[in-house]
């Protein structure tokens, strides 16, 4: 059988001058210059110019006349130097070309539904509709950007595997067909043919299995795990996704965080040109984060911190502020540096954005100028007349306002104000161009509440999941004041995204049963977890871990806004695999074998 290549298209340089070589790849572009035909040949590793000259091989030159974009060819030829006036320093191979002596068309191609080739750094497919790109994903993957993203993905996963292997972790695979348990998001269920009327579930995470591995004495486990959640789609969420999953025995929270921090720093330093802005990573208390940033996954690449003004404005003449505090709410604000340049239309858009998250409006004060004689600011705002000059000046001073700034306010229940100003902070950062994509702002969020603020169906709801260990100092509060209980949950956030989450786990049956009771589990629901409770009777070690969403992390490192861009075959916005045409109907015979009848609704 013939040899298809001696080299790849991207590796040849002027050092290979006069070498006889064999290349195979795709026709990226073809240019007919009368006597000579030039073709840019592409493979996974790069691009090289090949030249068809009738004086060298008339037969090959004639074949080249019929070449079209995306044809797959094999060529034999000699590496020669380009003339000085034809050197292309934008290409690694730009100082050479290959003089073709023989060419074979290995396969032809129809005209693609969109242009795949990238010429002079211009990605011609970037504006193609996403559904078309997903339908022809095998063509989309030929684009340089997609190839680079998948290559980066491979390198990141390989780095993680190698790093954890050196740290004495074992990679253990856990089942993909498991048991459906009430853990949060909807399960994907799989009918059993051998046990009709019963179902497997695809794992939302390997959580229970990895805890059972700790009971089994594995001590240090990791897995590059495929997970499945039947949730609505978003730009940073897919029905099936990949996570780094790890668990350790005999560890405290700091040891887990130290391991992740060191691994992330070394990974970024080796595989990315981005700069980590804080080393070691900040470890921030949940309550402080919610007050300062309004959300539990803050972007720390810029300031715009939220300040509490409740004490200053309590009992003031502005009814919106005074009433909010009287009802047990808060008044908080953000000082947006340089935002006075915003037009009235832009401020109105921010107000409408605030209303989407529950605000009734968005009060503001524009700081126009400062008196030369005294520290008195010229202020522009509909609310200054209600606040009074003295209080308005005091607010500006508290917010460190300067001429050219706008101070935006939130006044309502603490929950609404947090969410509104948290979202306004993000919008302000975009409008003021404060987001630097060359920077990486990692942080760990710790000291989370064990339960959500609000009840769910009359019961407590876990803030993380039901296997999270309550803080040892708060165990007594489980009896009478569960809402005050802190947990050993930890989240890893990066540039405003949650990229990882974990905890120290419960390893005692009595505490686990207490949590089940508090979240309203019936005896029937508890039976779904009997395997866990039983395991906790056989010497479970203290243990904990973390899981990291690799798709989301890789998306950030690749400067993408959507995780579909770093997944080979992702689902569309409505959960379809457009390449394969899934989901699809199945034959009636298959349903009969499974004992399933479709009910039309």
Q: Which long-range CB contacts under 8 A does 556-560 form with residues at least 24 apart?
A: 556/440, 556/494, 556/495, 556/497, 556/499, 557/152, 557/156, 557/268, 557/271, 557/272, 557/274, 558/148, 558/149, 558/152, 559/437, 560/149
SS3 assignment, position 220? strand
- Distance, CA of 243 to CA of 222 (rounded, Å): 10
Which pLDDT does position 435 carry in this prediction? 96
- Distance, CA of 570 to CA of 579 (rounded, Å): 9
SS3 assignment, position 327? coil
SS3 labels along 412-477: ECHHHHHHHHHHHHHHHHHHCCCCCCCEECEEEEECCECECCCCECCECCECCCCCECECHHHCCH
How is residue 180 annotated by DSSP?
Answer: -
Place of tokens 């350790």: 248
* Segment 219-275, tens digit of pLDDT: 999 999 999 999 877 767 899 999 999 999 999 999 999 999 999 999 999 999 999
Give the H or E element holding residue 165: helix 144-166
Tokens in use for 182? 């009430």
* Segment 162-196, tens digit of pLDDT: 999 999 999 999 999 999 877 666 899 999 999 99
Nearest-CA neighbor of 36 among 52, 58, 56?
Answer: 52
Domains and CATH numbers, the chain: 14-111 (2.40.50.140), 149-283+442-566 (3.30.930.10), 302-435 (3.30.1360.30)
Q: Residue 439: is its pLDDT beyond 80?
A: yes
Which pLDDT does position 186 carry in this prediction? 86
Q: How do 283-285 and 442-446 pair as beta strands? A: parallel
- Distance, CA of 165 to CA of 456 (rounded, Å): 41
Which pLDDT does position 344 carry in this prediction? 92
Average pLDDT over residues 288-307: 96
Cβ-contact 245, 543 below 8 angstroms: no
Q: Residue 371: is its pLDDT beyond 80?
A: no
Which pLDDT does position 235 carry in this prediction? 66
pLDDT above 70 as % of the chain: 97
Range in 113-122, 291-300, 346-355 with the lowest mean pLDDT: 113-122
Q: Which parts of 358-413 fold into alpha helices (H)?
A: 384-387, 389-398
Quickly state the pLDDT bin for 372 (edges 50, 70, 90).
Answer: low
Average pLDDT over residues 572-594: 92
Range in 66-70, 230-234, 270-274, 560-564 with the lowest mean pLDDT: 230-234
* Segment 449-465, tens digit of pLDDT: 999 988 888 888 898 88
Quickly state the pLDDT bin for 560 (edges 50, 70, 90).
Answer: very high
Q: Pick 134 or 369 by higher pLDDT.
A: 134
Average pLDDT over residues 284-295: 97
Distance of CA 533 to the CA centre of its chain: 34
Distance of CA 409 to the CA centre of its chain: 30
DSSP labels, 15-66? GGTT-EEEEEEEEEEEEEETTEEEEEEEETTEEEEEEE-TTT-HHHHHHHTT
Which pLDDT does position 377 carry in this prediction? 80
Kindly report the average pLDDT of the chain as a whole number: 93
* Segment 465-523, tens digit of pLDDT: 899 999 999 999 998 899 999 999 999 999 999 999 999 999 999 999 999 999 988 88
Which pLDDT does position 370 carry in this prediction? 65
Range in 123-127, 166-170, 185-189, 551-555 with the lowest mean pLDDT: 123-127
Quickly state the pLDDT bin for 318 (edges 50, 70, 90).
Answer: confident
The end-to-end CA distance of the chain, in Å, is: 57
CA distances in angstroms from 506 to 214, 296, 457, 540, 586, listed in the order given: 12, 23, 24, 10, 43
Which pLDDT does position 232 carry in this prediction? 78
Other residues' Cβ atoms within 10 Å of the Cβ of residue 270:
11
Cα-only R_g, the chain: 30
Other residues' Cβ atoms within 10 Å of the Cβ of residue 588:
11
Nearest-CA neighbor of 271 among 127, 368, 155?
Answer: 155
- Cis amide leading into 583 (omega within 30): yes
Average pLDDT over residues 146-160: 97
Average pLDDT over residues 307-312: 94
DSSP labels, 226-274? EEE-----BTTB-SEEEEEEEEEES--HHHHHHHHHHHHHHHHHHH---
How many residues are there in the chain?
Answer: 601
Quickly state the pLDDT bin for 127 (edges 50, 70, 90).
Answer: confident
Cβ-contact 69, 109 below 8 angstroms: yes
* Segment 402-424, tens digit of pLDDT: 999 999 999 999 999 999 999 99
Which pLDDT does position 89 carry in this prediction? 87
């Amino acid at each position: 059988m013939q040899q298809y290549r001696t080299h790849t298209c991207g590796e040849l340089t002027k050092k290979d001058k006069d070498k006889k070589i064999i290349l195979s790849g795709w026709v990226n572009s073809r240019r007919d210059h009368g006597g000579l035909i030039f073709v840019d040949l592409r493979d996974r590793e790069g691009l090289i110019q090949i030249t068809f000259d009738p004086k060298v091989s008339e037969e090959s030159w004639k074949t080249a006349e019929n070449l079209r974009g995306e044809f797959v060819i094999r060529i034999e030829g000699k590496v020669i130097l380009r003339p000085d006036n034809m050197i292309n320093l934008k290409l690694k191979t730009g100082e050479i070309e290959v003089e073709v002596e023989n060419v074979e068309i290995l396969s032809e191609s129809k005209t693609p539904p969109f242009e795949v080739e990238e010429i002079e750094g211009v990605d011609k497919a970037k504006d193609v509709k996403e559904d078309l790109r997903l339908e022809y994903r095998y063509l989309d993957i030929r684009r340089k950007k997609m190839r680079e993203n998948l290559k980066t993905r491979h390198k990141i996963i390989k780095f993680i595997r190698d790093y954890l292997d050196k740290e004495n972790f074992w990679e253990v695979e856990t089942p993909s067909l498991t048991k459906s348990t009430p853990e949060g998001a909807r399960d994907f269920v799989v009918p059993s043919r051998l046990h009709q009327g019963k179902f497997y579930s695809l794992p939302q995470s390997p959580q229970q299995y990895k805890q059972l591995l700790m009971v089994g004495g594995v001590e240090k486990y990791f897995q590059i795990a495929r997970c499945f959640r039947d949730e609505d789609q978003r730009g940073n969420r897919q029905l099936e996704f990949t996570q780094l999953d790890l668990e350790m025995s005999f560890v405290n929270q700091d040891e887990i965080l130290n391991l992740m921090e060191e691994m992330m720093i070394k990974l970024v330093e080796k595989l990315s040109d981005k700069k980590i802005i804080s080393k070691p990573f900040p470890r921030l208390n949940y309550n402080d984060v919610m007050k300062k940033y309004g959300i539990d996954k803050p972007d720390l690449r810029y300031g715009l911190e939220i300040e509490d003004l409740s004490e200053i404005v309590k009992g003031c003449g502005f009814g919106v502020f005074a009433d909010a505090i009287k009802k047990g709410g808060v008044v908080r604000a953000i000082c947006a540096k340089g935002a006075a340049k915003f037009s009235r239309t832009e401020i109105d858009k921010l107000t409408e954005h605030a209303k989407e998250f529950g605000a009734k409006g968005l009060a503001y004060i524009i700081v126009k100028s400062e008196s030369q004689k005294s520290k008195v600011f010229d202020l522009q705002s509909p609310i200054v007349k209600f606040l009074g000059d003295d209080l308005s000046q005091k607010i500006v001073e508290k917010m460190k306002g300067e001429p050219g700034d706008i101070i935006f306010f939130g006044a309502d229940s603490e929950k609404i104000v947090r969410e509104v100003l948290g979202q306004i902070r993000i919008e302000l950062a975009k409008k003021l161009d404060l987001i630097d994509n060359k920077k990486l702002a990692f942080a760990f969020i710790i000291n989370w509440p064990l339960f959500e603020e609000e009840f769910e169906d009359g019961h407590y709801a876990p803030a993380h999941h039901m296997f999270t260990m309550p803080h040892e100092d708060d165990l007594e509060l489980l009896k009478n004041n569960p809402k005050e209980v802190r947990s050993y949950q930890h989240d890893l956030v990066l540039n405003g995204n949650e990229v990882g989450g974990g905890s120290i786990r419960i390893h005692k049956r009595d505490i686990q049963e207490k949590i089940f009771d508090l979240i309203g589990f019936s005896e029937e629901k508890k039976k779904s977890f009997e395997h866990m409770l039983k395991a906790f009777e056989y010497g479970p070690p203290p243990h904990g871990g973390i899981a990291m969403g690799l798709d989301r992390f890789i998306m950030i490192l690749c400067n993408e806004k959507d995780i579909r861009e770093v997944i080979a075959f992702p689902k569309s916005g409505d959960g379809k695999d457009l390449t394969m045409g899934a989901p699809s109907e199945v034959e009636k015979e298959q349903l009969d074998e499974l004992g399933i009848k479709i009910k039309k609704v």
